[in-house]
Each structure stands twice: as structure tokens, then as C-alpha cells.
Structure 1
């Protein structure tokens, strides 16, 4: 009995100490980042630029779509749409130089169940993640909200040895981050980390344009009247979508300008045109400014 209690105490102490351990210690290894989105397009929109930057620097990035997107189109649904959307994000991943996975959960039906918590916990452990990114739990779409809840629920469990014991627990506590949104209630997004994506903006836009079912054909809220009918129409739509996304990422840079200046310095921070932003989740490791620069090595004055 005494031995059992000693083992349990050691486990609890080890979990508590995870937050104190260096993220990469003395290891000379690539960073490992996993990004969770509700649908096959969310990761690409919210973190496609920083993913390309990490990939170019030799780090390992994985996107995970928590649902298969099988109702996300006005004219098709079910298995054929799920297969199409999976193929689209696979092409986007090829453009970004990363890995992607789409889970076989119906679009619009994601719930914060124990089964899904275990699935996310296993994915984070299997990837040996240093950084985990997902939606905030206050969002317009239930799949987005529950992706955020599941990420929060996994933030402690990834280190608990007897939860999902078939996959070894992490030896270091990841940093958990929320991706950017505009929602104000119950609390507005806080831009703790803002990344210049000017160097990869065209690459990111190319990746987004590969997701034609959503951005060219209109996704779930499109229609026959608004969808392109000819190849000329489709090309025009591609150009319009590209410029709309370009403006979107320019707006993030403008809204987060003060933090860009803090991170990159006045001269460079004022000159940045496009950005992605992330909020540090209060669960998981709380990075210092120095650790932020280690995790995002392309942030420099």
C-alpha cells in the first residue's frame, strides 16, 4: 500500500513539474506542431501561413480536421463531399509542405464526448506536440466551439499516464494556443502572438484556393445562382477570393499592429502587411517572451 501511494505521488508530482520543464531542453530537434480545425478548411485559413513558415524552417506541422465536412456544400453531401474535401486539404497540405488528417465525424455533429477527448489526446501524444492550436470555445459554429472545448479538455489529460494508457503521455507540457477570431463575447480575442506571413502569403493563398468546394463554389451557403458556371467565371472567382483573403490577413496585421511592433521592433513591425495571430490558452504551458521566440523562430526584429 505504501509503495502504491508513493507511485501515485510521484505521478502527480511529475505532472505538476511538467509546466516547469524547458520546452525543448537541450534537444536539437525540430519543433512539432499540431493544429485542430472543425472542418477541412479551418486550419488552412487560421494557421496556413505560420505552418508554411515552420515547414520551411524544417519543423513538423500537422493539421487535423475534426469533422469530414460532409454537409458543407449547397449541391452535394455525404461520402462524395467528404472525399472531395479531404482531397482538397491534402492538396493544400502539399502546397504548404505539411501533413493533414481528416477525422470521420459528420459535419455539424461534433460533440465534446469522452470518446472525442480521447481521440484528441491520442493525436497530440502521437504527434509529440510542442504546440497545439485550435479554436476558441466561443464561436458561431458548434463544431468550432466544441473543437475548442476538446482542446481545453485535452490540455491536462495529455500528461496523465493512466488516461489513454495505450499511448505514452507527453514528457513535456505543450503550449496550447487559440487561433484568431473576431468574437467579442464573453471575451474578445487577445493577440499574444502575432506572426508576419508576408514571406509566405502567396503560398498560403494558393493553398486556400485549392479548397474550391468552399471558396470558389460557396460551400454550404452557396447556390446555383452564385456558383461559377464557366471556366472564365471560375477564374474570375478565384481572383476575387484571392484578393478577399489577402485583405483579411492584412486586416489582422492592422488590428494587431501594436503587438507586431513589440515582437518585431518598430521599423519592421510597422512594415508588416499580413499576419496571423494566436492567443495563449491558460491551460498548458505559459511561455515567456523568450520561449515564444524559440517556438516561433521566424519572429525577429
Structure 2
């Protein structure tokens, strides 16, 4: 079973679905993280280019911990826009990787990049299987799209994945984003749930875990009312 996580910024996948990605990778599934941007706004006292270079390196290190491959789509941080061109770009991404399952942001999220990414992925999902829509790759038909969300949105997960055995891996991957640990903690006035980076992840995971009788879990909603092993 192949998984493709399409996220707005380096560290989004690790924070919100890192345990699930690691769990699938550990059982031998092909897992890829596609980053819409390199997160060049997420830094202090340096240039956007320098921040982007640092964050790409951190993302590659984190993906290696999770057992995932990575690709970058080169959108601008904070400025992902919805357009037919960008939707077709995601169609091609889906067709190139031909995943069974797609993971992305929940539509109702405080960050505009997350909201736009969610819409692009959802709409591209519907177009990716159309045989008369010609792009660089052949049509594909993933089984489902799973959405992860932030506690500050209206996100109410209906699919809970037990990641207790992979919480340590998730934290190790998240901490590869060394530049973001300080950034998110300093930026706590906006992203209040990240006032303590690791403890916030643990608290969220533990709260979700109680719903599934697990120590730690990750939560999703699904586009279609179907379920598969691990994402059920």
C-alpha cells in the first residue's frame, strides 16, 4: 500500500501524521512526503533563501527517520494560491506516485497555506482518474484521501490510528526540524499549541489515544466512508 502525504511546509507531516507514516513504512509500504513549500518564512534574522535551504535539509533528515521519500513542489511559503495550473500540478503528482492513500491538511485550518493545499489536493484527487485529462503521467485512482488537522480548527477526527509504537520515531523526526523548535515555541502567540513543541505533540497524541485505548494516536477524517488497515 503506497501513501502520499501532501503538506504545505517542512514539519507538517512529522507533527500531524508522522507516526502513521512511520507505521506504514515499517511494514514495507512506500511512503512519500510532498512539500508544497520549503517554509522560507519560518526563521529569524536570516534570508528566506537561507531558511529554505536549512528547512529542506531538515525535512530530508526527518523523512529518513520516518522511512519516507521526499519531493518539493517549489510554491512560495505563505503564498500558495489556488489555480487550475496548480490543481493540474497536483494531478500530475498523484499520477506520478500512484498512491493508494493520500494524506493532507483538513480544509478548516488557521493557516492559509494549509487550507489552499487541502482544496488543491481534494480537487486534484477528483481529476486524477479522468482518462481524457491528458497530463505528463497516466491517470490514477487513489482509494481515499485522509485529512489531518490542528486543535485550533473545527477538526474532529473520525479515524484514529494507534501510533504508540511509533511515537518515539515521530518525535525523533520532528526534532530533526531543529530550526523550527525555537521558531514554533517563540511563535506561540499564534500557534499556541506549540508553546512546548514535543510536549504539545505528546499531549495531542495521548488525548487521541484515549479514544482508541492506546497510549498515543493520530486522528484523521476521510473523504470517503471506507477504511483500510492502520487508517481505520
- Equivalent in the alignment of 1:182: 151
- Equivalent in the alignment of 2:221: 279
- Equivalent in the alignment of 1:158: 128
- Equivalent in the alignment of 1:213: 179
Runs of 4+ with >4 A deviation: none
In the TM superposition, what is the alpha-carbon distance from 1:252 to its structure 2 partner? 2.6
Q: Does 1:96 align with 2:66?
A: yes
3-state SS, counterpart of residue 292 of structure 1 = coil
What's the CA shift string for 1:87-130, capped at 9, x where partnerless? 00100011111111222111011011112111111111111111
- Equivalent in the alignment of 2:96: 126
Q: Which has the higher contact order (CA 8 A, sep 6+)?
A: 2
Q: Does 1:204 align with 2:140?
A: no
Q: Does 1:41 align with 2:11?
A: yes
- Structure-2 separation of matches of 1:219 and 1:66: 23
- Equivalent in the alignment of 2:48: 78
Q: Does 1:292 align with 2:231?
A: no
3-state SS, counterpart of residue 214 of structure 1 = helix
Q: Which has the higher helix share?
A: 1
Contact conserved, 1:67 with 1:105, CA < 8 A, in 2? yes
Q: How many residue pairs end up in the alignment?
A: 225
- Structure-1 separation of matches of 2:221 and 2:102: 11
Contact conserved, 2:8 with 2:36, CA < 8 A, in 1? yes
Structure 2: give runs of 5+ residues left out of the alignment: 189-195
- Structure-1 separation of matches of 2:2 and 2:58: 23
Q: CA RMSD in A?
A: 2.0
Contact conserved, 1:191 with 1:278, CA < 8 A, in 2? yes
**Under a length normalisation based on structure 1, what TM-score does the superposition of the two structures give?**
0.70
- Structure-1 separation of matches of 2:18 and 2:203: 15
Q: Looking at CA atoms only, which structure, 1 or 2, has the larger radius of gyration?
A: 1
- Equivalent in the alignment of 2:192: none
- Structure-1 separation of matches of 2:181 and 2:173: 11
3-state SS, counterpart of residue 215 of structure 1 = helix
Contact conserved, 2:104 with 2:146, CA < 8 A, in 1? yes
Contact conserved, 2:184 with 2:197, CA < 8 A, in 1? no
- Equivalent in the alignment of 2:205: 249
Quick check: 51-60 or 213-222, which moved more?
Answer: 213-222
Contact conserved, 1:209 with 1:216, CA < 8 A, in 2? no
- Equivalent in the alignment of 2:26: 56
In the TM superposition, what is the alpha-carbon distance from 1:286 to its structure 2 partner? 3.7
